[in-house]
């Protein structure tokens, strides 16, 4: 759905009877339409992740069989990938700053960097999933497996959608179709990207950092 938001007003004319010389984005609240829409979407998405996180918390420590988080987690590794994801928020900020300055070359660099950092995070997640799988954790192993894979998996899907979005912007920028006046498009993508990062901070804290109860049957 995120990508829908992105493309909503691209190419859609300012048709509110705007005449030349007027700011086509003038609205009753002063907030541009796309930005307001993105904020509302993100608020909605908060409930989406909130419901998954609540489920995870409710089911913590209720497993009847292992393996549980204690046997599986490699906190340093996941901390590293989390750090990479957080750094991508920085590059995202730099990308926005670049387009607002009209610096298209740096815009392209930072967009690409953000996408690559995101992709690194996803690669880490794929590696982690594979490792857990080898150690005997599947969706159907226990509640930890179900909640962990679905929650982090849907977060990964959000990041992936963000990467596709960023690469689309990068493609536009490379064709010279992302000018200084289009900074709102980058800003909207940035809002989404920062949100996905913030959600990860919550997920990382809840899943990895809050002390785990030992799973019965586990080591």
Partner 1 sequence: MTTVAGALTTVKRRPLLLRRPTKTTGAFSWFTTIDHKKIGIMYCATAMLFFLVGGLEALLIRLQLAGPNGTVVTAAQYNELFTMHGTTMVFLVGMPMAVGIANYFVPIMIGARDVAFPRLNAFGFYVVVAGGIFLYSSWIPGINGVPNGGWFGYTPLTDTPLTAGFLPGRGPDFWTVGVVMLGIGSTTSAINFIVTILNLRAPGMTLMRMPVFVWMMLVVAFLTVFAMPIITVALIMVFFDRNYGSLFFQASAGADPLLYQHLFWLFGHPEVYILILPGMGIVSEILPVFSRKPLFGYSVVVFSGIAIGFLGWGVWAHHMFATGLGPVAISAFGVSTMLIAVPTGVKIFNWLSTVWRGAVRLTTAMLFALGFIAMFTIGGLSGVLHSVVPSDTQQTDTYFVVAHFHYVLFGGLLFGVFGGFYYWLPKVYGRMLDERVGKINFWTMLIGFNLTFFPMHFVGLYGMPRRTYRYDAGLGWDAWNLVETIGAFVIAVSTLIFLANIIVSIMLKRGAVAGDDPWDGRTLEWTTTSPPPDYNFADIPEIEGRDAHWHHKYTEDEEGRLMPLPSGGAAAAAEGDGHHDGIHMPSPSIYPLITGLGLLPLGYAAVYHSFAWLGVGVVVLLYGLYAWAIEPGTEPDESDHGGGAPARVPEPVH
Partner 2 sequence: MRLQRTRRELHTRWWIPALATLALVLTACSTESGPENRQNPLRPKGEYAEKIDDLFGPVFWVSVVIGVLVVAATVLVAVKFRTRKGEDVRPKQTHGSTPLEIGWTILPAVILLAVAVPTVSTIFSLDEEPINPVEVTAVAKQWWWQFDYPRDDNGKKVVTANDMHIPVDRDVLVTLTACDESLPNTVGTETPGCNVLHSFWVPELAGKRDVVPGRENQLKIRADEEGVYVGQCAEYCGLSHANMKFRVIAQSESEYQAWLEAQRADAEVALDDSSDVEELFTAKFQCTNCHTSEDSSLSTYGPNLTHFASREVFASGYYELTRERLIEWLLDAPSLIPMQSDDCRLGSPGSVEGAICVGMPSFTKNPPEGADGQRFPAMKHEEAEILADYLLSLT
Q: Residue 72 CB, nearest distance to partner 2 (Å)? A: 18
Query: What is the Cα–Cα distance from 203 to 114, expressed in whole angstroms?
Result: 20
Site for partner 1, rule CB under 8 A = 1, 3-20, 22-23, 26-31, 33, 36-37, 40-41, 43-45, 47-48, 51-52, 55, 58-59, 62-64, 138-140, 142-143, 145-147, 149-150, 154, 168
Query: What is the Cα–Cα distance from 62 to 152, expressed in whole angstroms?
Result: 19
Query: What is the Cα–Cα distance from 171 to 173, expressed in whole angstroms?
Result: 5
Q: Report, in this order, helix, strand and coil percent for the chain, each rounded to 5.
A: 70, 0, 30
Report what 201 binds from partner 2, partner 1, none; CB cut-off 5-8 Å by kind.
Answer: none
Contact 145, 139 (CB under 8 A): yes
Q: Residue 207 CB, nearest distance to partner 1 (Å)? A: 16
Specify the residue, 32 or 68, whose C-beta has the smaller distance to partner 2. Answer: 68
Specify the residue, 81 or 152, whose C-beta has the smaller distance to partner 1. Answer: 152
Task: State which of residues 8, 45, 55, 65 lies at the interface with partner 2 (CB under 8 A).
Answer: 65
Does 214 help bind partner 2 (rule: CB under 8 A)?
Answer: no
* Residue in the block written with tokens 């498009």: 185
Specify the residue, 15 or 76, whose C-beta has the smaller distance to partner 1. Answer: 15
Specify the residue, 171 or 216, whose C-beta has the smaller distance to partner 2. Answer: 216
Contact 29, 36 (CB under 8 A): yes
Q: Which two tokens stand for residue 219?
A: 């080591």
- The site for partner 2, by CB under 8 A, has a size of 3
Of the candidates 160, 153, 119, the one whose C-alpha atom is nearest the C-alpha of residue 138 is 153
Q: Which two tokens stand for residue 58?
A: 């409710």
Specify the residue, 99 or 169, whose C-beta has the smaller distance to partner 1. Answer: 169
Specify the residue, 37 or 65, whose C-beta has the smaller distance to partner 2. Answer: 65
Q: Residue 141 CB, nearest distance to partner 2 (Å)? A: 8
Does 29 help bind partner 2 (rule: CB under 8 A)?
Answer: no
Does 140 help bind partner 2 (rule: CB under 8 A)?
Answer: yes
Contact 186, 96 (CB under 8 A): yes
Query: What is the Cα–Cα distance from 25 to 14, expressed in whole angstroms?
Result: 7
What distance lies between CA 172 and its chain's CA centroid?
21
Q: Which residues bind partner 2 (CB under 8 A)?
A: 64-65, 140
């Amino acid at each position: 759905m995120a990508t829908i938001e992105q493309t909503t007003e691209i190419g859609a004319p300012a048709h509110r009877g705007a005449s030349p010389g007027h700011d086509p984005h003038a609205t009753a609240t002063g907030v541009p339409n796309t930005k307001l829409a993105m904020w509302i979407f993100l608020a909605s998405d908060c409930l989406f992740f909130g419901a998954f996180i609540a489920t995870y918390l409710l089911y913590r420590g209720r497993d009847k069989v292992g393996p549980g988080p204690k046997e599986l987690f490699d906190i340093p590794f996941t901390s590293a990938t989390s750090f990479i994801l957080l750094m991508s928020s920085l590059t995202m900020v730099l990308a926005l700053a670049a387009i607002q300055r009209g610096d298209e070359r740096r815009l392209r660099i930072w967009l690409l960097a953000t996408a690559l950092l995101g992709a690194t995070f996803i690669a880490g997640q794929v590696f982690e999933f594979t490792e857990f799988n080898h150690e005997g954790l599947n969706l159907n192993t226990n509640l930890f497996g179900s909640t962990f894979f679905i929650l982090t998996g849907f977060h990964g899907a959000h990041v992936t959608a963000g990467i596709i979005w960023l690469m689309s912007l990068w493609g536009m920028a490379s064709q010279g179709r992302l000018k200084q006046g289009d900074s709102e498009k980058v800003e909207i993508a940035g809002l989404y990207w920062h949100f996905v990062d913030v959600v990860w901070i919550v997920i990382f804290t809840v899943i990895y950092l809050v002390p785990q109860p030992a799973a019965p049957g586990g080591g």
